[in-house]
Amino acid sequence: MNRKQAIVLVILVPLVIVSGLLLGRSMGGSDDNSSAGIQIAGADDAGEYAHDFNIPPGTADRIAAGQVVEIVPAELVVKVGDAIRIVNNDTEDHIVGVFFVASGETLTQRFNSEGVLEGECSVHPSGAFTLRVEA
């Protein structure tokens, strides 16, 4: 490699790297999502939900007081294409499996492929929630 080639390399290669990084960053982000191999997406346009859950005000206080709270089942089975909605009317945030629903917010999800999603749950006595998506 002669000096001229090296100078070209010094200028060109960084330009390519920076361009690639910036391009990759600008192309990131999408409304669609994937978790544990299941294709999921927001379902704000859904007219009807296969399952509609409401976390009422005072839920966190009831849990803290030692009461048994069971707003969602330990395991929920839905079909591909179904949508669910979780409305959190409590003053505290809640976690339902892989879904986080902040206080006062509504989460809607449609499931576009089969699979299993499982995680912690703050509104079931077992502390766990499994969602099974079947064909």
Partner 1 sequence: MQRASQWRIHPARRSLINRLVRWVVGSVALAAGVLAAPQVALADAAGPTDYRSEVVSVTPSTDAITVTIEGGDAFVRVMVVEGHQVIVLGYDDEPYLRISADGTVEENRRSMATYYNAERFGSDDIPDIVDNDATPEWVKIGSGGSWAWHDHRAHWMEPEPPIGLDPGESLPAQIVPMIVNGVPVDVAVQTTLQPSPSVWPAIFGLLIGMQIVLLGALAGPATSIFSSLVLAAAATFVGVAQFRSLPSETGPLLTWWMLPAIALICLITTILIYGRSLMMQHALVLLAGMQLMLWAYIRRSTLTKAVLPTDLPFWFDRMVTAAALTGGITMVIVTLLAMFRPPATVDAERPTASA
33 binding partner 1? (CB under 8 A): yes
d(CA 47, CA 119): 27
d(CA 72, CA 74): 7
| Nearer Cβ to partner 1 (13/134) | 13
111 binding partner 1? (CB under 8 A): no
Residue 79 pairs with which residues in a beta bridge?
Answer: 134
119 binding partner 1? (CB under 8 A): yes
1 binding partner 1? (CB under 8 A): yes
Residue 74 pairs with which residues in a beta bridge?
Answer: none
From 120, 38, 51, select the one nearest 80 (Cα to Cα): 38
Chain residues binding partner 1 by CB under 8 A are 1, 3, 6-7, 9-10, 13-14, 17-18, 21-22, 25, 33, 35-36, 40, 60, 92-95, 98-102, 105, 107, 109, 119-120, 122
